[in-house]
C-alpha cells in the first residue's frame, strides 16, 4: 500500500468520514456473490458478442499538431451504438500500448480537446461515452434506449427491480466491448491494453477486470459501484443516495434491489480480477466512502496497490493520481 503523503505522521486511529486506518485495512464487505453471477455475465456478454462490433472511425479536425483525434462508434450491449473518442500521438506508425478510459457518473465523453494526457504520454487512448448520461458536467451522445419502470432521477435505480433490466448491465457490457473495439483498431497493440477510470469509471474498470482475463493493467481511482450493502446505508451523498430514495417509497423491495446490485458490485468483480491494479482512496470522501473502496481493494485477487489520500474528498489525488498512474501504466504497458 502506498501512502503518498509523508509530510506528517499518519493518524492511524483517527476516524474521518468512515473507519480508522487500521479498521479499513482489515475490512471485508458483507456482499455475497449470486449463485448464477458467472452464468449471468457469460450469457450477457455472449448475447452482445453475437452482434458484429462494426467499429467505425473518422478523423476529427482539432488544430492540434502533436495529437490526432478520431470519432469512434462501435456496437455495445444488444448491438446498440456506443460513441468514443480515440486520441493518438500524431504520426504514430507502430501499434501502441492503449488505455481504455471510462467516464464518471453523469458525464459523457466530453469535448475532443479534453482528456489529452494519455495520448500525450504516448498511449492510444479510447475514451468511452456513457449511455444515457452526459448532461451533468460533460457532454455525451450515446442514448440508452431501454424501456424500464419507475426510477429515482439518475441512472443507478434504472431497471433496478431485475438484474436483466438494470442500467449497469448495459453500461458494463459496453465497457467490455470497448476493449474489443480498441483491439480491433490498427493503431492498438492488442497485447498491451489497460482500463482506467475514476468514480463510476473506476467501478467500470473493476468490472471489466473481473470479466476479462487479458488486460495488462487496471487503474481505479476512488471507485464507485462498490460494497452496496454498506454504501447505501452510511452516506447521504448521491449517487448512492438514489438507492435509499428509491427504497424509501419501494419499502418492500429491499431484498430484490440488493439482489440486483450484487450483480454489478465491484467487490464481486474484484474477487475475479487478476490483472495488476492501482487503486486510489480518499479518507474524507463522502461520495464513495473509503470503506467501500477498501472493500473492493481488500478482495482484489490480482497484484494490487493503493494510493491513500488522508485529507481529500471525492477528488482523490487529482493530478497526482494521474502522475502515479502514468508511472504504473508505463511500467506495465512499456
Question: Domains of the chain: which residue ranges?
Answer: 21-333
Residue 10 pLDDT > 50, yes or no? Answer: no
* Catalytic residue from among 199, 258, 280, 321: 199
Section 83-108 average pLDDT: 96
Look up residue 229 and give its three cell numbers: 450493502
Asked if 302 and 332 touch (Cβ cutoff 8 Å), the reply is no
How many angstroms separate the Cα of 245 from the Cα of each of 110, 203, 242, 249, 282? 29, 21, 5, 7, 25
pLDDT in tens, 151-209: 999 999 999 999 999 999 999 999 999 999 999 999 999 999 999 999 999 999 999 99
Q: Write the burial class of residue 184 (CB in 10 Å: 0-12 exposed, 13-18 middle, 19+ buried).
A: middle
Look up residue 166 and give its three cell numbers: 438494470
pLDDT category at 252 given cuts 50, 70, 90 is very high
pLDDT category at 147 given cuts 50, 70, 90 is confident
- What percentage of the chain carries pLDDT values higher than 90? 92
* Catalytic residue from among 70, 285, 321, 332: 285
Q: Write the burial class of residue 206 (CB in 10 Å: 0-12 exposed, 13-18 middle, 19+ buried).
A: buried
Look up residue 91 and give its three cell numbers: 504520426
CA quadruple 150, 153, 157, 158: dihedral sign: positive
User: Which ranges of 35-139 would DSSP assign to H, the alpha helix?
Assistant: 37-49, 117-120
Residue 16 pLDDT > 70, yes or no? Answer: no
User: Which ranges of the chain would DSSP assign to H, the alpha helix?
Assistant: 21-26, 37-49, 117-120, 167-183, 200-211, 228-234, 240-249, 254-262, 266-270, 290-299, 319-333
Active site includes 7?
no
Q: What are phi and psi for residue 282, nearest 5 degrees? A: -120, 125
Residue 11 pLDDT > 60, yes or no? Answer: no
Active site includes 253?
no
Architecture of the structural domain at 21-333: 3-Layer(aba) Sandwich (3.40)
* Catalytic residue from among 70, 125, 166, 314: 314
Residue 244 pLDDT > 80, yes or no? Answer: yes
Q: Which helix (H) or strand (E) holds 304?
A: strand 304-309
What pLDDT was estimated at residue 334?
Answer: 87
Active site includes 314?
yes
- Give ∠ CA 328-168-48 in degrees, rounded to 5: 90
What pLDDT was estimated at residue 1?
Answer: 60
How many angstroms separate the Cα of 30 from the Cα of each of 37, 262, 292? 16, 11, 11
Amino acid at each position: 500500500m502506498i501512502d503518498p503523503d509523508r509530510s506528517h505522521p499518519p493518524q492511524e486511529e483517527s476516524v474521518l468520514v468512515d473507519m480508522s486506518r487500521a479498521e479499513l485495512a482489515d475490512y471485508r464487505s458483507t456482499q455475497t456473490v449470486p449463485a448464477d453471477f458467472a452464468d449471468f455475465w457469460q450469457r450477457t456478454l455472449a448475447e452482445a458478442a453475437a452482434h458484429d462490433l462494426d467499429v467505425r472511425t473518422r478523423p476529427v479536425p482539432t488544430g492540434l499538431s502533436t495529437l490526432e483525434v478520431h470519432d469512434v462508434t462501435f456496437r455495445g450491449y444488444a448491438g446498440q451504438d456506443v460513441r468514443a473518442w480515440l486520441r493518438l500521438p500524431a504520426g504514430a506508425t507502430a501499434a501502441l500500448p492503449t488505455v481504455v478510459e471510462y467516464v464518471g457518473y453523469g458525464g459523457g465523453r466530453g469535448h475532443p480537446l479534453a482528456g489529452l494526457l494519455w495520448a500525450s504520454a504516448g498511449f492510444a487512448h479510447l475514451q468511452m461515452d456513457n449511455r444515457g448520461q452526459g448532461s451533468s458536467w460533460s457532454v455525451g451522445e450515446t442514448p440508452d434506449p431501454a424501456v424500464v419502470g419507475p426510477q429515482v432521477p439518475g441512472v443507478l435505480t434504472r431497471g433496478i427491480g431485475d438484474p436483466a433490466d438494470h442500467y449497469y448491465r448495459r453500461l458494463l457490457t459496453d465497457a467490455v466491448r470497448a476493449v474489443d473495439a480498441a483491439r480491433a483498431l490498427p493503431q492498438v497493440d492488442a497485447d498491451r491494453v489497460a482500463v482506467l477510470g475514476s468514480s463510476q469509471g473506476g467501478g467500470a474498470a473493476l468490472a471489466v477486470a473481473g470479466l476479462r482475463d487479458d488486460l495488462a493493467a487496471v487503474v481505479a481511482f476512488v471507485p464507485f459501484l462498490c460494497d452496496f450493502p454498506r454504501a447505501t446505508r452510511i452516506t447521504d451523498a448521491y449517487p448512492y443516495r438514489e438507492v435509499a430514495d428509491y427504497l424509501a417509497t419501494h419499502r418492500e423491495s429491499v431484498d430484490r434491489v440488493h439482489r440486483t446490485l450484487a450483480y454489478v458490485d465491484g467487490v464481486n468483480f474484484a474477487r475475479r480480477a487478476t490483472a495488476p491494479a492501482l487503486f486510489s482512496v480518499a479518507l474524507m470522501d463522502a461520495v464513495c466512502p473509503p470503506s467501500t473502496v477498501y472493500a473492493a481493494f481488500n478482495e482484489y485477487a490480482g497484484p494490487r496497490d493503493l494510493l491513500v489520500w488522508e485529507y481529500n474528498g471525492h477528488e482523490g489525488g487529482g493530478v497526482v493520481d494521474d502522475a502515479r498512474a502514468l508511472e504504473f501504466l508505463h511500467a506495465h504497458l512499456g
